[in-house]
């Protein structure tokens, strides 16, 4: 039976440390770190994500600033809002909640955010630092950074291991593959065009999956004793599920993240971590 990698507990531990750190920083600087969240339109899922992020900020003492913008806002006007936040010295982190309405370019907005305030870790400058393993010099994407915290917390060795990343998005798959490579794992990246996916997954000591395809990974696709990180999240018949057939795979894996309660809580926690880090870097700590 696999060890359950508990994202809620690990999150709680990290947030506890952040709360203490925020308190100390506020005493030194005279204000807490501040995160600006930009929400365009009224997408229901985005509303929930933003509410959860603002609540999490409150829990650790980070000041949150919410910017709600109409769905029909122009690219130029959105860029102007981001520019104002870039130039505001009392703002340490900026996120623009994705997805955006179709007429807006995610890439243009992400590129417009100042790299030192890009707490999502999506800007090309931070992506480059992630690729090169310069973690101390930049802000790393939250979900991959959260996954790496699991390996650190649970003492899971990566060096020399066969690691397979299923999914190659710019937000999760590519940066996590780079992080695994920087930790000296031997990394294969699989995606929608990969032929014979099971050939790769069966050889994985470390299997990370981020596709959004419910139950994609079955027990017969997993190596005995593998560590399985399920990053996917979908709703099936009203139930939140992951990319992995959890109930069956947990019988073969040595460790596995549940959905919900695994990687999800860590993503928001690493956003808080990045906001505090951005504040410290800007203040010269």
Residue ranges of domains in the chain, CATH in brackets: 30-114 (3.40.50.10860), 142-264 (3.40.50.720)
Does the structure show a pLDDT above 90 at 249?
A: yes
Which one is catalytic: 92, 118, 120, 205?
A: 120
Token pair recorded at residue 74: 């122009």
Q: Kindly state the average pLDDT of the residues 39-58.
A: 93
159 is catalytic: no
Q: Kindly state the average pLDDT of the residues 111-131.
A: 97
| Total-model pTM | 0.96
Which one is catalytic: 6, 92, 97, 252?
A: 97
pLDDT of residue 1: 84
Q: Kindly state the average pLDDT of the residues 247-276.
A: 97
Which one is catalytic: 53, 129, 174, 277?
A: 53
Does the structure show a pLDDT above 90 at 4?
A: yes
pLDDT of residue 147: 98
136 is catalytic: no
Quick one: pLDDT band at residue 277, thresholds 50, 70, 90? very high
Closest CA to 59 of 27, 19, 11: 19
Q: Kindly state the average pLDDT of the residues 86-102.
A: 97
Rounded Cα gap, residues 229 and 266, in angstroms = 12
CA-to-CA dists, residue 86 to 31, 63, 283, angstroms: 18, 16, 15
Does the structure show a pLDDT above 90 at 193?
A: yes
pLDDT of residue 67: 96
Q: Kindly state the average pLDDT of the residues 223-229.
A: 98
Q: Kindly state the average pLDDT of the residues 127-152.
A: 98
Does the structure show a pLDDT above 90 at 233?
A: yes
């Amino acid at each position: 039976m696999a060890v359950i990698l508990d994202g809620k507990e690990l999150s709680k531990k990290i947030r506890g440390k952040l709360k203490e750190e925020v308190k100390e920083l506020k005493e030194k600087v005279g204000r807490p770190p501040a995160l600006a969240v930009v929400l365009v339109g009224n997408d229901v899922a985005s509303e929930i994500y933003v509410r959860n992020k603002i609540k999490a900020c409150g829990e650790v003492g980070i000041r949150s600033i919410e910017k709600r913008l109409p769905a029909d806002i122009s690219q130029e006007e959105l860029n102007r809002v981001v520019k104002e936040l870039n130039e505001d010295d009392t703002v340490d982190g900026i996120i623009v909640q994705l997805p955006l309405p179709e007429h807006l370019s995610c890439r243009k907005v992400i590129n417009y955010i100042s790299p030192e305030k890009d707490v999502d870790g999506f800007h090309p400058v931070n992506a480059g630092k992630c690729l090169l393993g310069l973690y101390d010099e930049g802000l790393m994407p939250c979900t991959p950074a959260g996954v790496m915290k699991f390996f650190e917390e649970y003492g899971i060795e990566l060096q020399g291991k066969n690691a397979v990343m299923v999914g190659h998005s710019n937000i999760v798959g590519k940066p996590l593959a780079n992080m695994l490579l920087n930790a000296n794992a031997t990394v294969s990246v699989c995606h929608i065009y990969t032929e014979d996916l099971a050939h790769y997954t069966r050889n994985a000591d470390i299997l990370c999956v981020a596709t959004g395809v419910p139950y994609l990974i079955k027990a017969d696709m997993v190596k005995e004793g593998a560590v399985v990180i399920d990053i996917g999240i979908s709703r099936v018949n009203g139930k939140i599920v992951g990319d992995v057939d959890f109930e069956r795979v947990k019988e073969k894996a040595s460790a596995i993240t549940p959905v919900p309660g695994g990687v999800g809580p860590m993503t928001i926690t690493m956003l808080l971590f990045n906001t505090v880090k951005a504040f410290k870097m800007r203040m010269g700590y």
